Structure formats: structure tokens, C-alpha cells
């Protein structure tokens, strides 16, 4: 999710412009959550996930 908790779409370019040109640290405001997509009975189990971000910069 983005910095205000809205879902982001995969495969879409999102610009982040809140950085300085002095080379300081820059935080990208992203977070993750799980969504339940079915109405099936909820059962205990693992819920592992992994994501890779590609960051392009000039």
C-alpha cells in the first residue's frame, strides 16, 4: 500500500519525489497487508509472502 494506505497496482510506475539532491536517506512510504479473498472457513496455517521492487533512478 502507498503512504496513505491505498493499494497500489503491480506493474505500474510510481514516482517518488520527496527526496533531496544532497544524497540523504530517502524513505519510500510502502506497507503490506493480507487480504482475504474468499468466504471459505478461516483456518490456521502459514501466510508467507515475498515481493521484489525494482528502483530506477537518475
Examine the pLDDT at 40 and tell me if it is beyond 80.
yes
Report the chain's mean pLDDT, rounded to a whole number: 82
Q: Cell numbers at residue 18, please? A: 520527496
Residue 47 resides in a domain = no
Residue 29 resides in a domain = yes
Number of domains in the chain: 1
pLDDT at 57: 73
**Calpha distance 8→31 (Å, rounded):** 10
Question: Residue 13: is it exposed, middle or buried by C-beta count within 10 angstroms (0-12/13-18/19+)?
Answer: exposed
Residue 52 resides in a domain = no
Residue 10 resides in a domain = yes
Residue 33 resides in a domain = yes
Residue 11 per-residue DSSP state:
T
Give 17-28 pLDDT, tens digit per residue.
Answer: 777 777 778 788
Whether the full predicted model's pTM is greater than 0.75, yes or no, is no
Residue 48 resides in a domain = no
Residue 58 resides in a domain = no
Residue 57 resides in a domain = no
Q: Which domain, by its residues, includes 24?
A: 1-38
Amino acid at each position: 500500500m502507498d503512504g496513505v494506505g491505498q493499494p497500489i497496482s503491480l506493474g505500474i510506475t510510481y514516482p517518488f519525489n520527496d527526496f533531496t539532491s544532497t544524497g540523504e536517506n530517502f524513505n519510500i512510504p510502502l506497507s503490506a497487508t493480507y487480504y482475504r479473498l474468499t468466504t471459505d472457513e478461516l483456518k490456521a496455517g502459514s501466510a508467507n509472502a515475498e515481493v521484489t521492487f525494482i528502483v530506477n533512478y537518475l
